[in-house]
Chains A and B, each alone.
Chain A
Amino acid sequence: MGETLHFHYDVDGGNFTSAGDASVHVKRKLRQLGFPPETIKRVSIAMYEGEINMVIHAGGGTADVFVSPESVKIVLADKGPGIEDISLAMKEGYSTAPENVRSLGFGAGMGLPNMKRYTDSMDIESELGVGTTITMTVNL
């Protein structure tokens, strides 16, 4: 595999049932491409947390995954409310998720810290009322 592969997904914000489907698909592709299981696990946990966030906090968005021989890059972009205080949002346990999200099994405030932990680099660009773009890279 010499060139970069690109996968694009529209993440439906109104549908909690389909949330995570893009991450499931990426995981399957990386398996087919023969990447090491530990690398695949890191990519898929980070992407899944980000995908869930777009659904529960931002009304959906897009996911783009670029797979090259050196790295897997994940770009999650939404036109949601934006994140007011990024360093606060990065704190373990910080969550603005409402009770109904908690009853679905999410909203512990561990998503963003988890994404950072499992990736080699993570960049958050966010503007209130405009949206959020999160770029994560896992080196191979």
Chain B
Amino acid sequence: MKISEIRDILGAKVLCCEESLDKEVLSACGSDMMSDVLAFVKNQSALLTGLVNPQVIKTAVMMDMYCIVFVRDKLPSPEMIALAEDAGIVLLATETRMFEACGLLYKNGLAGEKD
């Protein structure tokens, strides 16, 4: 699924790295615990989260993820957006809540795990 499709399905705003909307995401994960993302995520390239702090972006950097979706209307700070921009990570923001956002993407064919 292209990042642009994620944007459309979730009715999300693009906060940075628009030029990468064509990138393919094969699988995603949803978590507010960065500890769990670091320990349990394998090759998922998109992260859905309701947590907003710079460690979300840095965790995605470490995990080689290139798309972060902030759910339930959470908005990252300008510093976070700059950090993501630097790393080439697309940031999306949606009003949709975590459970529904994950469900919508899953229903539309995005996997939870794929290797």
Nearest-neighbor residue (CB-CB) of A52 within chain B: B55
- Please choose the segment from A2-10, A60-68, A106-114, A120-128 that sits at the chain B interface, where 4 or more of its residues have CB less than 8 A away: A106-114
The size of the chain B interface, using a CB distance under 8 A, is 22
In contact, A48 and B62 (Cβ under 8 angstroms): yes
List A contacts of B8 (CB < 8 A). none
Interface presence of A87 (CB below 8 A)? no
Residues of B within 8 A of A45 (CB): 38, 62-63
Q: Which of chain B's residues have a CB closer than 8 A to the CB of A72?
A: none
The 6 nearest A-B residue pairs measured at CB: A108-B35, A110-B39, A105-B34, A20-B58, A44-B62, A48-B62
Enumerate chain A residues within 8 angstroms of B95, measured Cβ to Cβ.
none
Interface residue from A23, A41, A109 paired with B58 (Cβ < 8 Å): A23
- B105: which A residues are within 8 A, CB to CB? none
Pick 9 A–B contacts, CB within 8 A, sort by A: A23-B62, A41-B64, A45-B63, A102-B33, A105-B33, A105-B56, A105-B59, A106-B34, A110-B38
Chain B 53-72 against A: per-residue CB contact (8 Å), 1 yes, 0 no? 11110110111100000000
A37: nearest chain-B partner, CB-CB: B64
Q: Given the known A-B contacts A27-B62, A44-B62, are A105 and B54 also in contact in the complex, defined by CB atoms under 8 Å?
A: no
Q: Shortest beta-carbon distance, A7 to chain B, in Å? A: 16
Q: Is B35 touching A105 in the complex (CB atoms < 8 A)?
A: yes
Question: Given contacts A20-B54, A102-B33, A110-B39, could you give 18 more A-B pairs where the C-beta distance is less than 8 Å?
Answer: A17-B79, A19-B55, A23-B62, A24-B61, A24-B83, A27-B61, A27-B62, A41-B62, A48-B38, A49-B38, A104-B55, A105-B32, A105-B33, A105-B51, A110-B36, A110-B40, A111-B35, A114-B38
Q: Please name all residues of chain A whose beta carbon is closer than 8 Å to the beta carbon of B38 when the two chains form the complex.
A: 45, 48-49, 110-111, 114
